[in-house]
Every structure is written in C-alpha cells, then in structure tokens.
Structure 1
Amino acid sequence: MACRLADSMFLLMGPHQKTIPMQKIAAHYSPGTSHLKWDSLLVRGIKHQPCLNPRRKVQLVQAVAAPFSSSPADTAEYRKQLSESYGFTQIGESLPENVTLKDVMDSLPKKVFEIDNVKAWKSVLTSITSYALGLYMISKAPWYLLPLAWAWTGTAITGFFVIGHDCAHKSFSRNKLVEDIVGTLAFLPLIYPYESWRFKHDRHHAKTNMLSEDTAWHPVWEEEFDSSPALRKAIIYGYGPFRPLMSIAHWLIWHFDLNKFRPNEVKRVKISLACVFSFMLIGWPLIVYKMGIMGWIKFWLMPWLGYHFWMSTFTMVHHTAPHIPFKSSEEWNAAQAQLNGTVHCDYPRWIEILCHSINVHIPHHISSRIPSYNLRAAHKSLQENWGKYLNEAKWNWRLMKTIMTMCHVYNKEQNYVAFDQLAPEDSQPITFLKKVMPDYA
C-alpha cells in the first residue's frame, strides 16, 4: 500500500470560469453512459461541472444511466459546448463496442509503418544541431535572455527522448543493436536508463487508461487522499501546481528500483543503470571542473527541467480529460482506450519540429511501430476513417487549467472529483490556480 500511495502521489497530470446563477440541464459525458443533472450555465456557453461534492447536499435531477445512442449528451451540439468548456477543439463520439483495435490498425496505410533510415537519421541530426545551438545560446545570452535559451535547449533535448522512444518501440531501425545503442545514448543526457523506461513504457501501451495497471499515470484514489493530512497536502500540490514537473518524481520512482521489474528484465535494467551512472560520474564532474557549479546549473540542470516540463505536459495532455475514463481491467476495451481515450494536441510549429511530432499521439497508440516521422500521415488517415471518434485540441491555457484544477480523484460514475470539492479547506493551491491561470483557448 505504501508503494501504491507513493506512486499515486507522484504520477503525472477546469471548469475554471466563474459561474453565473442561471440553471440549465447539462449532461455528464462519459463513454457508454450519461448522467443528467441540474448544473450551472457558465461563461462562454453551457459549461460543465463533471463532479459534485459528495459531502455537500445538492439538489439535482439524475436519470438512470443509459447508452449514448439514446442520450442527449451524445449530440454534436453538446460535445461542441463541452469541448469549448474544456479547451478542446473536438470531443469525439463514443466508439462502438464492436470496433476492435485491429479494425482501426487495418485501416491505416501500410506505408506509415515503413522505416526510412534517411528520415530517422535526419531526426538525430536535427536534435543534435538544435541542442548544440541551445548550448551556444546559453553561453552567449545575457542573464535576462537565459530563460529563452533554456526553453529552446530543454525542448531540443526532448527530441533526444523521442529518438530513444522510437528505438524502444523498434521503429527507428531494422537493426535491433543499432536501436539499443542509439536509444541508450539518446537517453543519457536525460539521465534516463533506457531499458528501465522501455519496460515500463511498454506496459503503458498495453494498459493505456487501465485504472491500476497503466504505468504512465492514474488518478488518485479517495482512500489515499483521505489516508493522512500530510499525504493529502503532498498529493494536492503534486497533482496541482507542481504537475508540469511531476515527471521528475515518476522518473525517480519507476526507473531505478530493481524490485519493480520482472526477473528476466533485471539484467538489461542493470546495464542501463550502469550507463546512466557512468555518465553522471564522468559528465557532471567534467562540467563542474570546466564551468563550476553555476555552469552545471546553466548548461545541464535548467535544460533538464525544461525537458521535464514537456515530458509532464505532453503526458497529461495525451491521457487526461474530465470526459475520458480510466477503467478497471474487466471493463477495459483496447480500441476505446487507444483511439477514444488518447488525445491529439497541436503545439506551436517549432515545438513540433524539435520534438519530432510526438504530440501526434493517437496513431502512436494505435500502433507503437509507426515511426515518429510517419505519425502525421497516420493521423490524417485516422481523421478520414475515424474522425468523429477522435479527441483533439490545440494547446491552450484553458486545456491546462482544466487538467490541473479538475482531474484529480477517481470516481467511477463521474471519472474525477476535484480536490477542492472533496477537501476545500486543504485545497488553497487549486483555488489559487483557478484565480491566476489564464482562461483562454
């Protein structure tokens, strides 16, 4: 239980507008069922409160759960209103139960699975060049421009992660040894043990949005939230204001503990750990020797924090939304989780280039064997064949605010209950975020 509490506390991830006292019937959207309730009409149209405080007396009208085919929640108009409220450009229809992941995969053009060595090594060249440029910018920038240099460099080394990510999924090269070498080297500046990450990430793909088994992140359990005041505070900060950097805790907890791996995995994990520790023992002292502690902070630590900002942000945007459920293994459906439960998000073009289109994420979950440089073509095919089922967004502050102030404690009927609804007296960080975070899409 202690391990489970720690994992929940550190793993990654509203409405945020002020309500006006005007009643309107709204429906909570969740694939497969709907619950009608009296809710408030929020600024910019009908906004949605996904969960009500179970400890507060609220007068509501609730209907028996019914399939979406007969529910007013499954209308285009309602989904449009909901997507605007959450910061999405589209919230997809619920995927029919009889659609399988193979059906979706078979609809993709065969060419999107093809490995192109020229494109693969071009991505390596892009990342090395952009990283070198970032280091040069750091060395020349006056103090007031250093944040911009760090932002560029942190984004550039996120490209290293994507290259290693392709290697781990066997979509970089037809030569497995080349993939293992390139993946290990790409992860070294990030202090990521390649094999540790690969084993855990494979389970994330196999168990995406499965309530307990997904290793990327999962919601907080209410029993954990109520277990102790100190843990509650830590969870509120971790899933609230510190969420854009919480992949650091995930990195530390999941990738260095040999007890978290199967016996047949341990040998390879040890090799990766040896590589990482060798890099730290040789590389860090060299940086300090040449440039001092401040040089280590400027040239390594700050870009590394920038990388973790993207790592945390990408992960929570890909797999977190008030209308996307986490399900138990008995209820879980692979096609729904991968196609209907993964979010595509467009970022500014320079980020997409430096990060090799990793945010074109739905096709990656349909098949992790699609190389990063083919993800856009695969996504276009999905839009043509399955477009009405896709969840899509363009990165914006309302989207981030939704995730950071709403998507907190697991609730089977409502998906999430926000911290400030369960424990308003302890949730000042969440109310602070609601006040200070911008609210535009």
Structure 2
Amino acid sequence: MAAESELKMSHDFPTNKPSSAFDPSAPPPFTINQIRAAIPAHCWVKNPWRSLSYVLRDVSLTLSLLALALHFDSFFFWPLYWPLQGTMFWALFVLGHDCGHGSFSNSRVLNSFVGHILHSVILVPYHGWRISHKTHHQNHGNVENDESWVPMTEKLYKSQSHKTRLLRFTVPFPILAFPIYLWRRSPGKEGSHFNPYSKLFSPKDRKDVTTSTSCWLAMVSLLLYLSFTMGPTRILKLYGVPYMIFVMWLDTVTYLHHHGYKQKLPWYRGKEWSYLRGGLTTLDRDYGWINNIHHDIGTHVIHHLFPQIPHYHLIEATKAARPVLGKYYREPEKSGPLPVHLIQNLMDSLRQDHFVSDSGDIVYYQTDEHSRTKSQ
C-alpha cells in the first residue's frame, strides 16, 4: 500500500483527457494527404549542391575553431571554444541525420558517404542510428513501438532501481544519455546500435551496421592514437568536452521535441495509434540564433510527418501547412538570442512526466508524487 501511495497521480495532470476545449487526442479532421497537398511542390526538391554547401560551411567552421584552439591553447580561450565547437558538432549531426532520412539528396551513395563521415567523426554509428531513428519516425507516439524517449509504463517504472530513476529524471543525467542509448537502448528495450545481430535490425541491415560500426571503431582508434601522441588532456580539451556538449544538445533537443508542452499530449496504443496522430504530438521549438546553425531542426512537426523534405524548406512547408493543422499545430514560444526559456520546459517535464498507465489505448504522462516531493 505504501508503494502505491508513493505513485499517486498528479492532481495537476490527470491521466484521462485534459480538461480543455481542445482535445489533442481526438482524430484530426484532416488527412496526411491534405497536409501534403498544402505544401508547395518545390519544398520537396532536394538540391545536393545546396546540401553540400551546408556541409562545407559547418566543416569549415569546425576546423577553424580547432585551428584557433590549437593556436591560442589558453585558459581564457577554452571556455569560449567548448560551447562553440560542441554546437558545431551538433550541426554536423543534423546534416548526417538528413543523410539518413534521404532529405540530403536523391543519391543513396552520396547520402551514405557524407552521412558516414559526418556521424563517424562525432562517434555516431551512421547506419545503426539511421535505422533506429527511422523506427522512431514510423512509430512516434506509440507506447509499445516508438524507439527514442519512450515512456515507461507504471509497472516498468516501479521495477526500476532508484539509480535508474535518478539517471533518467534528474538533470544533468538525462541530457548525457545518448552514448548509453547507443550501447543499450532505453529501459525495457534490448539491443545495441553497434551489434549487427541486435534486435534493432533485420538480417538485411547487418552489412550496413557492420560498416558503420567499423567506421566508428576507426574514429575511436584515431582518438586513442592522438591521445598517445598529443596527450590525453589535450584531446579531452579539443574533442572530449565539445563531444559532451554535443551530446547535451542532442538529448535536450530531441527530448523537447516530444515533451514539455503546457498541455499534456497523448500517447497511443493499438487501434487508436496512427502515423498522423502520433506525428501530431511532436512540438516545434524556437532556438533563437541557433536555428540557423542547427539547420532549423526545431521546425519539427512537418519534419516528423515528412522527413523527406530538406531542412532548408521546412519553415516554408510549415507555414503552408499551418492552416490545415489548425490547433494541432502548437506555436513555439519565441526565443531570445539564446534559448534559455527551454531550460524551464525541460526541468518541469522531467519533474512531472514519469510514466504512463499500463493499460488504455490513449494515455498521458503521470507523476510519481513521492519522487517530485523529494526533489523539491
């Protein structure tokens, strides 16, 4: 009985449908084809030269920052270098992510070549992550089948150790989770992005996953070699700290695209789930001047529904689709030069969004009141 009382439902956020004039779980009065028809035809066109120009821009900035760090190598420069370079690593990741979606170009060879380079240099196994991310897009909002930041059921939540709950719901641990996710996925799921025989992959994926894991190992070997020749402390400053900032960007951005809205958004099971209804529970976010640096990845709803659209057309496509989406589109809160307003969204969600009911086809996040009380 005591354990049950610790897992009371939040009075502010009930598990049934939110008391609001608009029900976000209601089947939308439009189809995905109607959204598609509203988007101008040119928004679907992929220009490989334009895509490569963004690669050139980001790689040039990354190498320039590296050269400056090697030149100055001072106590005063490192605190400036780390967040800038970590943000550029994140920008490289987004371009590799576009390669994985095929929105970079119509050439699978070019997408794979560029994607392997961009992802391997920041220690991401290109095909392994590409395949699991595709699963996420195809199943978003599905409690059982979604892949990333999947809600734990109440039963699974109760079965987790205090350490696991701490790591998942207490900053900064959740925003450092990506390397762990690559190795062992989320609680309740099995597999590794590096193992071609993982449950993540089908037999036809094994050759691709092996190639990506080999590229990842080559990058790890290079970093180890540089640590011996240049010294581990120097490599930590040049690469290790920016890598961790990149991981924080990735985890924070991907989490906030699916959590932390002022109104609870639904998760689905069984017959209630559809690709459209799941995709409509994603969120756009504004990141201020960083929008351009990370290729407008905050324009996320249309990206989630139509990942084939190149990033440089997402803003226009979203503007065209908004009259169709109506209240199913949630206007992002405007950011200042830096998106510091999102810190509160992240903190509030991690305090409140702990688990969903073990049953029901439409469910909402519930709060472990005992855990929230302890954290206050």
Q: TM-score, normalised by structure 2?
A: 0.84
Inter-partner Cα distance in structure 2 for 1:123 and 1:365: 21
Inter-partner Cα distance in structure 1 for 2:138 and 2:45: 22
Moved over 6 A (4+): none
Q: Does 1:392 align with 2:324?
A: no
Q: Read off the aligned partner of 2:122 and give its amino acid letter.
A: L
Q: What is the aligned partner in structure 2 of residue 338 from structure 1?
A: 279
Q: Read off the aligned partner of 1:237 and give its amino acid letter.
A: L
Q: Read off the aligned partner of 1:111 and give its amino acid letter.
A: H
Q: List aligned pairs for 1:101-140, cutoff 5 A.
A: 101-139=32-70, 140=72
Please state how far the C-alpha of 1:423 moved relative to its aligned partner. 4.3
Q: Read off the aligned partner of 1:149 and give its amino acid letter.
A: Y
Inter-partner Cα distance in structure 2 for 1:408 and 1:392: 25
Q: Does 1:73 align with 2:3?
A: no
Inter-partner Cα distance in structure 2 for 1:142 and 1:159: 25
Q: Does 1:232 align with 2:181?
A: no
Q: What is the aligned partner in structure 2 of residue 11 from structure 1?
A: none
Q: List aligned pairs for 1:162-181, cutoff 5 A.
A: 162-181=94-113
Match of 2:119 among 172, 187, 205: 187
Inter-partner Cα distance in structure 1 for 2:354 and 2:76: 36
Q: What is the aligned partner in structure 2 of residue 406 from structure 1?
A: 352
Inter-partner Cα distance in structure 2 for 1:145 and 1:224: 46
CA contact (8 A) 2:7 2:370 kept: no
The 1:296–1:329 alpha-carbon spacing in structure 2 relative to 1, beyond 3 Å, is farther
Q: What CA deviation, in whole Å up to 9, does each residue of 1:47-84 have, x standing for no partner? A: xxxxxx965899x8xx9x78x9xxx6116xxxxxxxxx
CA contact (8 A) 1:134 1:150 kept: no
Moved more, 306-315 or 142-151: 142-151
The 1:418–1:133 alpha-carbon spacing in structure 2 relative to 1, beyond 3 Å, is farther
SS in 2 for 1:74: coil
Q: What is the aligned partner in structure 1 of residue 142 from structure 2?
A: 210
CA contact (8 A) 1:287 1:295 kept: no
Moved more, 371-380 or 142-151: 142-151
Q: What is the aligned partner in structure 2 of residue 49 from structure 1?
A: none
Q: Read off the aligned partner of 1:325 and give its amino acid letter.
A: P
Match of 1:256 among 175, 194, 197: 194
Please state how far the C-alpha of 1:202 moved relative to its aligned partner. 0.7
Q: Does 1:298 align with 2:237?
A: yes
Inter-partner Cα distance in structure 2 for 1:334 and 1:57: 31
The 1:410–1:57 alpha-carbon spacing in structure 2 relative to 1, beyond 3 Å, is closer
Q: What is the aligned partner in structure 1 of residue 267 from structure 2?
A: 326
Moved more, 188-197 or 233-242: 233-242
Inter-partner Cα distance in structure 2 for 1:416 and 1:385: 27
Please state how far the C-alpha of 1:216 moved relative to its aligned partner. 1.3
Q: List aligned pairs for 1:257-276, cutoff 5 A.
A: 257=195, 258-260=197-199, 261-276=201-216
Q: Read off the aligned partner of 1:370 and give its amino acid letter.
A: I
Q: What CA deviation, in whole Å up to 9, does each residue of 1:15-73 have, x standing for no partner? A: xxxxxxxxxxxxxxxxxxxxxxxxxxxxxxxxxxxxxx965899x8xx9x78x9xxx61
Task: Count matched residues.
Answer: 348
Q: What is the aligned partner in structure 2 of residue 41 from structure 1?
A: none
Q: TM-score, normalised by structure 1?
A: 0.72
Q: What is the aligned partner in structure 1 of residue 291 from structure 2?
A: 352
The 1:130–1:56 alpha-carbon spacing in structure 2 relative to 1, beyond 3 Å, is closer
Q: Percent identity?
A: 24
Unmatched segments (≥5 aa) in structure 1: 1-52, 76-91, 432-441
- Larger strand share, 1 or 2: 1
Q: Read off the aligned partner of 1:174 and give its amino acid letter.
A: N
Inter-partner Cα distance in structure 2 for 1:57 and 1:156: 42
Please state how far the C-alpha of 1:346 moved relative to its aligned partner. 0.5
Larger Rg: 1 or 2? 1
SS in 2 for 1:142: coil
CA contact (8 A) 2:268 2:363 kept: no
Q: Read off the aligned partner of 1:388 and give its amino acid letter.
A: K
Q: What is the aligned partner in structure 2 of residue 198 from structure 1?
A: 130
CA contact (8 A) 1:162 1:358 kept: yes
CA contact (8 A) 2:125 2:212 kept: yes
The 1:170–1:232 alpha-carbon spacing in structure 2 relative to 1, beyond 3 Å, is same
Moved more, 239-248 or 196-205: 239-248
Inter-partner Cα distance in structure 1 for 2:29 and 2:316: 26
Inter-partner Cα distance in structure 2 for 1:315 and 1:244: 10
Match of 1:415 among 341, 360, 364: 364
Q: What CA deviation, in whole Å up to 9, does each residue of 1:255-313 have, x standing for no partner? A: 123322211111211111111112221x2134214420011101111111111111101
Q: Read off the aligned partner of 2:194 and give its amino acid letter.
A: F
CA contact (8 A) 2:55 2:95 kept: yes
Please state how far the C-alpha of 1:100 moved relative to its aligned partner. 2.5
Please state how far the C-alpha of 1:211 moved relative to its aligned partner. 0.3
Q: Does 1:148 align with 2:80?
A: yes
Please state how far the C-alpha of 1:330 moved relative to its aligned partner. 2.6
Q: Read off the aligned partner of 2:365 and give its amino acid letter.
A: Y
Inter-partner Cα distance in structure 1 for 2:351 and 2:8: 22
CA contact (8 A) 1:158 1:307 kept: yes
The 1:57–1:154 alpha-carbon spacing in structure 2 relative to 1, beyond 3 Å, is closer
Q: What is the aligned partner in structure 1 of residue 336 from structure 2?
A: none
